[in-house]
Amino acid sequence: MPREISLRSAGRILLFVVVVYCAIAAAGAALLMTRIEQEAIATREHQIPQILSQTRNAVKVERLSSLVRAIFLTKDRRLERQLQLQIQALAQGFGFEGAVSLVDGSREVANLAKVIVNAHQGQRDLLANQSIEQPGEGAPDQSTKDLIAYESAMRIIDSMGKEVSGNSALVADDIAGGIQKRAVAVRYLVIVVLSVPALLVAVLLLLARRHLAAPIVAAIRNLDRVGNDETLELAKNRPMLRELALIGDAIVSYGSTASELRRTNVVLQALAETDPLTELANRRTFEKFLIAAIQRASPGAGPAVLLIDIDHFKAINDRFGHPTGDRCLKSLAFLLANIPDLANALPARFGGEEFVLVYDAPSADHALEYARFLCRKIEQLETESIDGAIVRFTGSIGVSFTTSQTTDVTGLLERADRALYSAKRSGRNRVEADPVAEEGDPAQGRSQRFT
C-alpha cells in the first residue's frame, strides 16, 4: 500500500518540478494547489464531521422508532421498563450533537413512551380487577390511549427523520459542489501543464489522472450513487493524497450507512405482516403459515382451519358505531390470541369481521369440539361501547381438516368457507364442518348449534 501524503506536500513536489522547466508555470501551480488544499482542509474539518453527525442522528432516530414500536407492542411489564429506559437514554443522547428540534422531539417521544407504559399498566390493573370482581367474563377492551400516544410519537419521529435527511442532503450537496470546483481547478492546471515540454506533460498527466482526477470523479459518482441508492464503487487504488482519501472514505461510509438504513427499512416493512387493528397475523402471513402446516401433515394428524365470522356485525356498526365495532373485533382477537393448549396455532384476521384459526389437530373430532368450545367463549364475550353500553355478540364457525400433504390451500379454505356459510344459513351461532372429506380424512359433516 503506497504511503499517503498531504496535499501540501504534493504541492511542494509539483512546485519543484515546475520551477525546473518554467518559473511562471511553477508560481501559478503553487497558488492553485494552495487554494485546493485550503478547501480540502475546510471540508475535512467542517463538512465531513457534519455528515458523520447527521449519520449518527439518523441511526438514533431509526433506533428510537424501533424502541417506540417495541414498547407499544409488548405486554411484559419488565420489558416495557427496559425499553422506556433505553428511550430516555437515547433521547438524552440527542443533546450532544442534535439540533434543538431533534432534542425537543426526542424528549416529547420519551414522554409519550411513558404514556404508553402507563396505559399498558392501567390495562393490566383493569384486567386484574375484573378477574377478581367478575370471574369468567370476557377480557375488557384495550384502551386507545396507548394507540394515540404511539401514533403521536411516530409522527414526531417521522418529522425528525425528515429533518435529519434534509440536513444530510444539504451537507452532501455542499461537498459535491466543492469537489466540482476542485475538479475545474485541476482541469485548468492540466491545460497549463500541457504547455511545458512533452516529458513533463506526460508525467504530470499520469500523476493527475491517477491521484487527483480519478479520486475526485469517483467521489462525485459515489455521491450520485448514494442519491440513487446504487452500489458504491470501491477505488482500485487508494489515493495517495490524504485529504482526498479521507473524502472518499467519508463518502463510502455515508453511502454504506444510508444503504444499511434503507435495507433495515425494507426488512421492517417485510416484517410488518400483522393486522394493524387487532394485532393478529394478516391474511398473507396466515396463508404462508397454512402452507407449512399442510406440509407437516401426517396420517395421524393435520391442520384444522376454523373460519370464524361475527354474526350480524353490520347491525353492531349501524347501532353502536364503527368505533364500537372495532372494539368488538379487538375483543374477539384478544380471545383468539390467548387460547391455550393448541399445537402450532396461529390466529389471524381474514378480512372484515372474519377471523381464522389454524392449528395441528389430532383428528377432525378434536377440531369440531374445539370449535364448539370457541363458539361458547365468543358468546360469553362482553364489549363496552363508546357510550358505555355492554355489547354482546355471537359467532359462526366453519371447520375444515386434512391429513394429506397434497391438499391445496385454496381448497382447504373453500371447504371451511362452505361450512361457515352453512352455519350462517342454518341460524348462526353454531359450528359446522365441511361434509366433503379428502382422501384419508375422517368423515365430516357434523354440526352443533349453541343458544
Per-residue pLDDT of the chain (451 residues; tens, 9 = 90+): 456 676 667 667 767 666 676 767 666 667 767 777 776 676 777 667 777 777 777 888 888 888 888 888 887 888 888 887 888 877 777 665 556 777 888 888 888 888 888 888 888 888 888 766 655 444 444 458 888 888 888 888 888 888 877 766 676 677 677 677 766 766 766 676 666 666 766 766 776 666 666 677 777 777 777 777 677 666 666 666 677 677 777 777 777 777 777 777 765 654 567 888 999 999 888 989 999 999 988 887 899 999 999 999 999 999 999 999 999 999 999 999 988 778 889 999 988 899 999 999 999 999 999 999 999 999 999 999 888 889 999 999 999 999 888 888 999 999 999 999 999 999 999 999 986 544 444 434 444 333 3
- Please calculate the CA angle 420-422-428 and round it to the nearest 5 degrees: 75
Domain final position from 271, 303, 319: 271
And the C-alpha cell for 12?
Answer: 511542494
And the C-alpha cell for 223?
Answer: 455521491
Does a structural domain hold residue 426?
yes
Q: Check residue 419 and give its pLDDT.
A: 95
Q: Check residue 96 and give its pLDDT.
A: 57
Q: Check residue 448 and give its pLDDT.
A: 39
The CATH number of the domain holding residue 348 is 3.30.70.270
Same domain, 189 and 303: no
Q: Compute CA distances 20 → 15, 26, 199, 200, whole Å.
A: 9, 8, 13, 10
Does a structural domain hold residue 2?
no
What distance in Å separates the CA atoms of residue 79 and residue 93, rounded to the nearest whole number? 21
Query: Residue 338 carries which DSSP code?
Result: T
* 430-433, strands of its sheet edge to edge: 346-351, 354-361, 302-310, 395-401, 430-433, 447-449
Amino acid (1-letter code) at residue 96 = F
Does a structural domain hold residue 165?
yes
Does a structural domain hold residue 1?
no
Q: Compute CA distances 343 → 137, 280, 329, 424, whole Å.
A: 25, 17, 24, 28
What distance in Å separates the CA atoms of residue 70 and residue 287, rounded to the nearest whole number? 25
Domain final position from 271, 306, 333: 271
Residue 305 region by backbone torsions, left for phi larger than 0, else alpha for psi between -120 and 50, else beta: beta
Question: Which structural domain range is residue 140 located in?
Answer: 7-271
Count of residues in the chain = 451
Domain final position from 221, 243, 271: 271
Q: How many domains does the chain have?
A: 2
| Strand positions, DSSP E, 73-202 | none
Same domain, 208 and 296: no
Does a structural domain hold residue 276?
no
What distance in Å separates the CA atoms of residue 110 and residue 121, rounded to the nearest whole number? 17
